[in-house]
Chain A
């Protein structure tokens, strides 16, 4: 295989949590017995890709809850990866952590191990709400975690928050945001609560025991969040993501949205090399089994057609404030008419040869690509 077009990113999926949050649709387990076997399997999987991937400029350890990894295990994995691949000098190395795992010692250790960016799963600052969500920390603990991380010297912190929660008011949400901004995080992810099929929270909503905001209210949350963070100097660079400056955007996540290459290691991880995408099985056991048999633990592998690549370019591009090059939408007669229409409707704008979504367009980003399907 030839050289990859851009420098790829490396993702590691740590499929372990202390418990299961009520809304979570990720693959993770709270049985940790397989943890050390998983770590060994992970490095074995890395071996399979040594010939195809050499150098990364981002590393993202996500999950699950990577912060539950015993520090020794994490060290083994990080050094194992460094033995097998090379990383850019200024690589962005992100670790996802949950507040309850942040201590002076762990924070210090993570710094020592070369973590440059920590993403903290705060989610909310209302204890009742945290309980409904099935989180295992209090709001106080979350704020302490931010404090501790700063003290340990982390200069690039990201905070994950959620809006559109049951019983959450707009003013309550803006207060939460304000409280978080007191810690001046370099990056904020503000996700609307998404109901994932088969989760306890979804069941409760379906049963009518919890109520989520209606469409109008949700739009208002989205718009006010954007206004608020922009007024505080953040760039709204992706639907749910804000950064203090262009330099502080999540470089790793940008690879997903810009259709760049990435390698994902671990159960349920996805990879993309510019043409093909593949995913690992969503089972720690099968993952380990495959690898000890010397096989790649693949769930599926697909080779994307030019049409599919184009569709993905649109679906990803319309999520970013940078948009997509006009060529991506405007080659044929139909798309041109569609573009004029979308501009007239205030969903998209033309800016320096790129098509960028307006805020109104962002709200319907999931269906924007359909406007350009012949």
Chain B
């Protein structure tokens, strides 16, 4: 165990974690030149397309120190984006130390700090690493100062490297083995293994990633899930070396995987402790704090028949994304579905895409919402994130919504445009600082609801791609909220309802009415689309009927052709959502969410 090191690489987004992991993997000879590709641990298609890490990923590296000692280094590459911070915090629970990467040119940023705090919470040894020293704009001295001042870490011992150029990699290895302590734990004690991630394999069932704290686990062992007592026989244990590599045993201090033919997905709980059935541990491991979603949206299958399939997919998906929370939901327009909570908009987007790509689900997502707070006349306080549960307006005494401190970093020439955007989005209390020549940091207090929809896209547009955006929650503030309903021929489309600030209700309603007008095909009758608050119509659009579609001739040969066409149209109609007698295509629900491209 002395020769094991468990560590994560943590940093702000894009500071080079995955690239550093690449160098370490290559130096360990885990992959030959032919098989290598950049950010090799970013295995999801989405990670590769977007160039960001979404999932933490573990890899066990063999390392021989200059003194000849051999080590097994369990490295966990983590995501830097705030929406995936739950991935980081879980990775940290199986480590004794971290490499805290700081970009030599960008310096300390929001997630540097947030991730450092997380590491400190776990009592981990923090090794600061300054990366990208090859950049012409690298300013190692300034960054060292920031590390001292903002992070209160000893910068004298920061490791300097360039992951891209492969500079300083030996120093990184050395720091890992010398400064990060080996794991403690007792291989002879009863098994206690922490489940920190999992993945569903359709042939082998759940593949459970765990850190063994005490005891050992072998093929053939009967394991017990402490949370619910489910017992399974171990089929395989092993370590991650880009691929799964079976081992005869996993011992205290090690990180690896367990396969035990677990097809009942709900038996696997991230944060659970696995022990042996015949010799259970008396002490469950602490597990993880519950996730606190900030953005909510409902997911419905495009075709109601696919509800069961969606449920199954969500269950399996959640194994691999513990940050997703969901429960049953239903809508008159869209049928049965799930109300989901996400850690942010990017998280929402990723869940949507992964469900579609990896699980082959066709889904409709409703307009994202935040969690609002209502004080009722009775004195009771309720939180509501689903417009369906909007309290009776007569019973509402006060309304509040969550606020964020938004900070936007951009070249100073865009300051005006950014100020305008933030003010439009109900930003308050603007202030700014000049962190470097030509750059400004603009800070606003803003309702979270204003950024969850298309704020980031708009910011990119107004700053021509140069603006970066970060936020932290700063609590609830009084607000003037209303519930906006969308009606199609007088029938409420519940899936399009929205809780919204009174001032924003009309522009939103107008936009939805226009979008729906574009997306709903003409019917044989006129369709009225309305946005309403309470009983009051605040926006409307009309789809005029088509007047004529009849073809002149229908004789012997035309009948089969006509019937087939109708059958095809019927099928298409089945995929549409019926609101009264109006068929609304899936695309309409999607279009409502699309950002404005001005």
Instruction: Report A's interface with B, CB cutoff 8 A.
Output: 11, 191-194, 215-216, 218-219, 222, 239-240, 253, 256-257, 262, 264, 268-272, 277, 279, 302, 308, 311-312, 315-316, 319, 337-338, 341-342, 345, 347, 360, 362-371, 373
Query: What are 26 sample pairs from A and B whose C-beta atoms fall under 8 A apart?
Result: A192-B551, A194-B551, A215-B548, A216-B547, A239-B550, A239-B554, A257-B554, A269-B556, A270-B557, A311-B563, A315-B563, A319-B554, A345-B525, A347-B524, A347-B525, A362-B550, A363-B547, A363-B548, A363-B549, A364-B524, A364-B547, A364-B548, A368-B524, A371-B581, A373-B566, A373-B573
Taking a contact as CB atoms closer than 8 A, the residue among B551, B552, B566, B581 that contacts A337 in the complex is: B581
Q: Which residues of A contact B230 (CB under 8 A)?
A: none
A311 to B568, CA, bound (A): 12
Q: Is B546 an interface residue (CB 8 A)?
A: yes
Q: Are A366 and B555 in contact (CB under 8 A)?
A: no
Q: Are A370 and B566 in contact (CB under 8 A)?
A: yes
A360 to B560, CA, bound (A): 25
Taking a contact as CB atoms closer than 8 A, the residue among B548, B557, B569, B573 that contacts A218 in the complex is: B548
Q: Are B569 and A370 in contact (CB under 8 A)?
A: yes
A102 to B342, CA, bound (A): 79
New contact pairs (11) apart from A240-B552, A308-B563, CB-CB < 8 Å: A192-B551, A239-B552, A256-B555, A270-B559, A316-B554, A338-B581, A345-B525, A360-B547, A364-B546, A364-B548, A366-B562
Q: Are B581 and A191 in contact (CB under 8 A)?
A: no
A277 to B562, CA, bound (A): 13
Which of chain B's residues has its CB closest to A338's CB?
B581
Which of chain A's residues has its CB closest to B569's CB?
A370
Which of chain A's residues has its CB closest to B556's CB?
A270
Given contacts A311-B566, A367-B524, A370-B566, contact A262 B556 (CB under 8 A): yes
Q: Is B289 an interface residue (CB 8 A)?
A: no
Which of chain B's residues has its CB closest to A300's CB?
B560
Which of chain B's residues has its CB closest to A364's CB?
B524
Range for the number of chain B residues in contact with chain A? 20 to 34
Which of chain A's residues has its CB closest to B578's CB?
A334
Q: Which residues of B contact A191 (CB under 8 A)?
A: 552-553
Q: Which residues of B contact A360 (CB under 8 A)?
A: 547
Render B123-166 as a binary contact track against A, CB cut-off 8 A, 1 for contact. 00000000000000000000000000000000000000000000
Q: Are B546 and A215 in contact (CB under 8 A)?
A: yes
Query: Which of the listed residues B524, B525, B560, B562 has the most CB atoms from chain A within 10 Å of its own CB?
Result: B524
Q: Are A219 and B554 in contact (CB under 8 A)?
A: no
Q: Are A311 and B567 in contact (CB under 8 A)?
A: yes
Q: Are A256 and B581 in contact (CB under 8 A)?
A: no
Closest Cβ–Cβ distance, residue B512 to chain A (whole Å): 24
Q: Which residues of B contact A268 (CB under 8 A)?
A: 557
Closest Cβ–Cβ distance, residue B551 to chain A (whole Å): 6
Closest Cβ–Cβ distance, residue A162 to chain B (whole Å): 8
Q: Are A365 and B552 in contact (CB under 8 A)?
A: no
Which of chain A's residues has its CB closest to B489's CB?
A341
Q: Are A277 and B524 in contact (CB under 8 A)?
A: no
Given contacts A345-B524, A363-B547, A370-B573, contact A312 B552 (CB under 8 A): no
Q: Which residues of B contact A362 (CB under 8 A)?
A: 550
Which of chain A's residues has its CB closest to B553's CB?
A191
Q: Which residues of A contact B562 (CB under 8 A)?
A: 315, 366
Closest Cβ–Cβ distance, residue A269 to chain B (whole Å): 7
Query: Which of the listed residues A271, A338, A368, A370 has the most CB atoms from chain B within 10 Å of its own CB?
Result: A370
Q: Are A192 and B556 in contact (CB under 8 A)?
A: no
Closest Cβ–Cβ distance, residue B419 to chain A (whole Å): 49
A264 to B556, CA, bound (A): 8
Q: Which residues of A contact B550 (CB under 8 A)?
A: 239, 319, 362-366
Q: Are A256 and B556 in contact (CB under 8 A)?
A: yes
A30 to B181, CA, bound (A): 93
Which of chain B's residues has its CB closest to A280's CB?
B557
A311 to B566, CA, bound (A): 8
A350 to B159, CA, bound (A): 86
A144 to B525, CA, bound (A): 46
**B window 314-367: CB within 8 A of A:** none
Which of chain B's residues has its CB closest to A373's CB?
B570
Closest Cβ–Cβ distance, residue A142 to chain B (whole Å): 20
Which of chain B's residues has its CB closest to A62's CB?
B555
Given contacts A219-B547, A373-B570, contact A270 B560 (CB under 8 A): yes
Q: Are B547 and A369 in contact (CB under 8 A)?
A: no
Closest Cβ–Cβ distance, residue B545 to chain A (whole Å): 8
Q: Are B553 and A277 in contact (CB under 8 A)?
A: no
Query: Which of the listed residues A262, A269, A279, A363 has the most CB atoms from chain B within 10 Å of its own CB?
Result: A363
